[in-house]
Amino acid sequence: MSQKGLPTIAPYALPEAASLPAPRGGGWPLEPGRAALLVHDMQRYFLRPYPAGEAPLAPVVAHIAQLLAAARRAGVPVFYTAQHVNQDRRDRGLQADLWGPGMSDAGAHQPILPELAPTPEDFVLTKHRYSAFQRSNLERLMRARGRDQLIICGVYAHIGCMLTAADAFMRDIHPFFVADAVADFSRAKHDMAVEYVAAVCGVPCATAQVVARLEGQG
Protein backbone atom coordinates (compact mmCIF):
# COMPACT_ATOMS: atom_id res chain seq x y z
CA MET A 1 0.00 0.00 0.00
CA SER A 2 1.39 3.43 -0.93
CA GLN A 3 1.73 6.23 1.58
CA LYS A 4 -1.59 7.55 2.79
CA GLY A 5 -2.61 11.19 2.99
CA LEU A 6 -2.34 14.11 0.61
CA PRO A 7 0.82 14.85 -1.39
CA THR A 8 2.85 18.04 -1.43
CA ILE A 9 1.73 19.89 -4.56
CA ALA A 10 4.17 21.92 -6.66
CA PRO A 11 2.98 25.06 -8.46
CA TYR A 12 1.73 24.63 -12.01
CA ALA A 13 -0.02 26.77 -14.61
CA LEU A 14 -3.70 26.26 -15.34
CA PRO A 15 -4.89 25.30 -18.82
CA GLU A 16 -6.14 28.09 -21.06
CA ALA A 17 -9.41 28.10 -22.95
CA ALA A 18 -7.71 27.71 -26.33
CA SER A 19 -6.02 24.48 -25.22
CA LEU A 20 -9.09 22.66 -23.95
CA PRO A 21 -10.07 19.45 -25.75
CA ALA A 22 -13.30 19.46 -27.69
CA PRO A 23 -16.10 17.48 -26.06
CA ARG A 24 -17.21 14.30 -27.76
CA GLY A 25 -20.18 15.02 -30.00
CA GLY A 26 -19.73 18.78 -29.74
CA GLY A 27 -21.13 19.15 -26.24
CA TRP A 28 -24.26 20.85 -24.98
CA PRO A 29 -25.10 24.56 -24.65
CA LEU A 30 -25.01 25.83 -21.07
CA GLU A 31 -28.40 27.31 -20.18
CA PRO A 32 -28.69 29.40 -16.97
CA GLY A 33 -32.29 28.31 -16.40
CA ARG A 34 -31.22 24.66 -16.31
CA ALA A 35 -27.89 25.01 -14.50
CA ALA A 36 -26.62 24.61 -10.94
CA LEU A 37 -23.12 25.40 -9.66
CA LEU A 38 -21.14 22.95 -7.52
CA VAL A 39 -18.18 24.16 -5.44
CA HIS A 40 -16.40 20.91 -4.66
CA ASP A 41 -14.42 20.40 -1.42
CA MET A 42 -12.88 23.87 -1.12
CA GLN A 43 -12.01 23.25 2.54
CA ARG A 44 -8.81 24.17 4.34
CA TYR A 45 -7.83 20.51 4.74
CA PHE A 46 -7.77 19.87 1.00
CA LEU A 47 -6.09 23.18 0.17
CA ARG A 48 -3.18 22.85 2.63
CA PRO A 49 -0.88 21.08 0.12
CA TYR A 50 -0.89 24.04 -2.28
CA PRO A 51 1.71 26.81 -2.09
CA ALA A 52 -0.04 29.96 -0.90
CA GLY A 53 -0.46 32.76 -3.39
CA GLU A 54 0.62 30.70 -6.40
CA ALA A 55 -0.98 28.82 -9.26
CA PRO A 56 -2.94 26.71 -9.43
CA LEU A 57 -4.76 27.57 -6.19
CA ALA A 58 -4.66 31.38 -6.26
CA PRO A 59 -6.22 31.75 -9.74
CA VAL A 60 -8.64 28.88 -9.07
CA VAL A 61 -9.97 30.67 -5.98
CA ALA A 62 -10.35 33.88 -7.97
CA HIS A 63 -12.17 32.04 -10.76
CA ILE A 64 -14.52 30.26 -8.36
CA ALA A 65 -15.37 33.63 -6.80
CA GLN A 66 -16.29 34.89 -10.27
CA LEU A 67 -18.47 31.84 -10.89
CA LEU A 68 -20.22 32.29 -7.55
CA ALA A 69 -20.96 35.95 -8.22
CA ALA A 70 -22.29 35.24 -11.72
CA ALA A 71 -24.41 32.30 -10.54
CA ARG A 72 -25.99 34.29 -7.74
CA ARG A 73 -26.75 37.21 -10.06
CA ALA A 74 -28.39 34.79 -12.51
CA GLY A 75 -30.44 32.99 -9.87
CA VAL A 76 -28.52 29.75 -10.43
CA PRO A 77 -28.62 27.45 -7.36
CA VAL A 78 -25.25 27.02 -5.65
CA PHE A 79 -24.18 23.79 -3.97
CA TYR A 80 -21.10 23.06 -1.89
CA THR A 81 -19.61 19.78 -0.75
CA ALA A 82 -17.83 19.59 2.60
CA GLN A 83 -16.49 16.65 4.55
CA HIS A 84 -16.78 16.45 8.34
CA VAL A 85 -14.04 15.92 10.90
CA ASN A 86 -13.47 12.72 12.87
CA GLN A 87 -15.38 10.43 10.55
CA ASP A 88 -16.24 7.03 11.98
CA ARG A 89 -14.01 4.41 10.32
CA ARG A 90 -17.06 2.40 9.33
CA ASP A 91 -18.57 5.45 7.64
CA ARG A 92 -15.34 6.49 5.93
CA GLY A 93 -15.08 3.06 4.35
CA LEU A 94 -12.44 2.27 1.73
CA GLN A 95 -11.33 5.89 1.57
CA ALA A 96 -9.47 5.30 4.83
CA ASP A 97 -7.36 2.60 3.15
CA LEU A 98 -6.12 5.08 0.53
CA TRP A 99 -6.17 8.43 2.32
CA GLY A 100 -6.07 7.72 6.04
CA PRO A 101 -8.55 9.01 8.64
CA GLY A 102 -9.14 12.39 7.02
CA MET A 103 -9.95 15.59 8.89
CA SER A 104 -9.34 15.78 12.61
CA ASP A 105 -9.42 19.49 13.55
CA ALA A 106 -12.76 21.25 13.17
CA GLY A 107 -11.22 24.71 13.17
CA ALA A 108 -8.17 24.08 11.01
CA HIS A 109 -9.52 21.50 8.58
CA GLN A 110 -13.26 21.70 8.02
CA PRO A 111 -14.05 25.34 7.10
CA ILE A 112 -14.67 26.29 3.50
CA LEU A 113 -12.25 28.99 2.35
CA PRO A 114 -13.67 32.30 3.70
CA GLU A 115 -13.51 34.12 0.38
CA LEU A 116 -15.73 31.41 -1.11
CA ALA A 117 -18.05 31.04 1.87
CA PRO A 118 -21.63 29.93 1.23
CA THR A 119 -24.52 32.31 1.78
CA PRO A 120 -27.71 31.35 3.65
CA GLU A 121 -29.38 30.70 0.27
CA ASP A 122 -26.78 28.14 -0.80
CA PHE A 123 -26.80 24.39 -0.08
CA VAL A 124 -23.92 22.74 1.79
CA LEU A 125 -23.92 18.97 1.29
CA THR A 126 -22.08 16.54 3.53
CA LYS A 127 -19.48 14.76 1.44
CA HIS A 128 -19.18 11.00 1.88
CA ARG A 129 -17.45 9.64 -1.23
CA TYR A 130 -15.62 10.91 -4.31
CA SER A 131 -18.80 11.77 -6.20
CA ALA A 132 -20.91 14.58 -4.75
CA PHE A 133 -24.02 12.56 -5.64
CA GLN A 134 -23.16 9.59 -3.43
CA ARG A 135 -25.23 9.48 -0.21
CA SER A 136 -26.42 13.06 -0.74
CA ASN A 137 -29.63 14.67 -1.98
CA LEU A 138 -27.88 16.72 -4.67
CA GLU A 139 -29.84 15.17 -7.54
CA ARG A 140 -33.17 15.52 -5.75
CA LEU A 141 -32.53 19.17 -4.93
CA MET A 142 -31.52 19.86 -8.52
CA ARG A 143 -34.56 18.09 -10.00
CA ALA A 144 -36.92 19.94 -7.66
CA ARG A 145 -35.57 23.19 -9.09
CA GLY A 146 -35.75 22.07 -12.70
CA ARG A 147 -31.97 21.80 -13.03
CA ASP A 148 -30.31 19.21 -15.25
CA GLN A 149 -26.95 20.87 -15.88
CA LEU A 150 -24.10 21.03 -13.35
CA ILE A 151 -21.17 23.44 -13.45
CA ILE A 152 -18.28 21.83 -11.54
CA CYS A 153 -15.36 23.63 -9.89
CA GLY A 154 -13.07 22.94 -6.93
CA VAL A 155 -10.64 20.16 -5.93
CA TYR A 156 -9.35 17.66 -6.82
CA ALA A 157 -9.84 17.56 -10.58
CA HIS A 158 -8.98 13.90 -11.20
CA ILE A 159 -10.75 12.56 -8.11
CA GLY A 160 -14.00 14.04 -6.82
CA CYS A 161 -14.54 16.59 -9.57
CA MET A 162 -14.06 14.12 -12.42
CA LEU A 163 -16.11 11.38 -10.77
CA THR A 164 -18.90 13.82 -9.96
CA ALA A 165 -18.96 14.75 -13.65
CA ALA A 166 -19.15 11.07 -14.63
CA ASP A 167 -21.87 10.41 -12.06
CA ALA A 168 -23.86 13.42 -13.31
CA PHE A 169 -23.67 12.09 -16.86
CA MET A 170 -24.98 8.70 -15.74
CA ARG A 171 -27.94 10.51 -14.17
CA ASP A 172 -28.65 12.40 -17.44
CA ILE A 173 -27.36 15.65 -15.96
CA HIS A 174 -25.07 17.64 -18.28
CA PRO A 175 -21.65 18.20 -16.63
CA PHE A 176 -19.69 21.39 -17.36
CA PHE A 177 -16.12 21.04 -16.10
CA VAL A 178 -14.52 24.43 -15.52
CA ALA A 179 -10.91 23.62 -16.35
CA ASP A 180 -9.38 26.81 -14.93
CA ALA A 181 -11.53 26.64 -11.76
CA VAL A 182 -10.39 23.19 -10.66
CA ALA A 183 -7.02 22.25 -9.14
CA ASP A 184 -5.20 18.95 -8.86
CA PHE A 185 -2.05 17.21 -7.63
CA SER A 186 -0.18 18.12 -10.83
CA ARG A 187 -0.72 19.55 -14.30
CA ALA A 188 -0.53 16.01 -15.70
CA LYS A 189 -3.39 14.79 -13.52
CA HIS A 190 -5.30 18.02 -14.18
CA ASP A 191 -5.02 17.54 -17.94
CA MET A 192 -5.98 13.87 -17.64
CA ALA A 193 -9.20 14.82 -15.84
CA VAL A 194 -10.11 17.43 -18.43
CA GLU A 195 -9.41 15.02 -21.29
CA TYR A 196 -11.43 12.25 -19.65
CA VAL A 197 -14.46 14.50 -19.18
CA ALA A 198 -14.23 15.69 -22.79
CA ALA A 199 -13.98 12.15 -24.10
CA VAL A 200 -16.70 10.39 -22.13
CA CYS A 201 -19.07 12.53 -20.10
CA GLY A 202 -19.01 16.32 -20.27
CA VAL A 203 -17.95 19.70 -21.55
CA PRO A 204 -14.63 21.26 -20.54
CA CYS A 205 -14.91 25.03 -20.39
CA ALA A 206 -13.22 28.13 -18.99
CA THR A 207 -14.45 30.49 -16.30
CA ALA A 208 -14.88 33.39 -18.70
CA GLN A 209 -17.04 31.27 -20.99
CA VAL A 210 -19.29 30.15 -18.14
CA VAL A 211 -19.64 33.66 -16.73
CA ALA A 212 -20.57 34.97 -20.18
CA ARG A 213 -23.27 32.31 -20.55
CA LEU A 214 -24.67 33.00 -17.09
CA GLU A 215 -24.81 36.69 -17.92
CA GLY A 216 -26.53 36.04 -21.25
CA GLN A 217 -23.55 37.08 -23.33
CA GLY A 218 -22.34 33.74 -24.62
CB 77 within 8 A of CB 145: yes
Q: Would you call 41 a catalytic residue per the annotation?
A: yes
The full 3-state SS of the chain, as one line of letters, equals CCCCCCCCCCCCCCCCHHHCCCCHHHCCCCCHHHEEEEEECCEHHHHCCCCCCCCCHHHHHHHHHHHHHHHHHHCCCEEEEECCCCCCHHHHCCHHHHHCCCCCCCCCCCCECHHHCCCCCCEEEECCCCCCCCCCCHHHHHHHCCCCEEEEEEECHHHHHHHHHHHHHHCCCEEEEEEEEEECCCHHHHHHHHHHHHHHCCEEECHHHHHHHHCCCC
**From 41, 167, 180, 191, the catalytic residue:** 41
Q: Which residues are designated catalytic?
A: 41
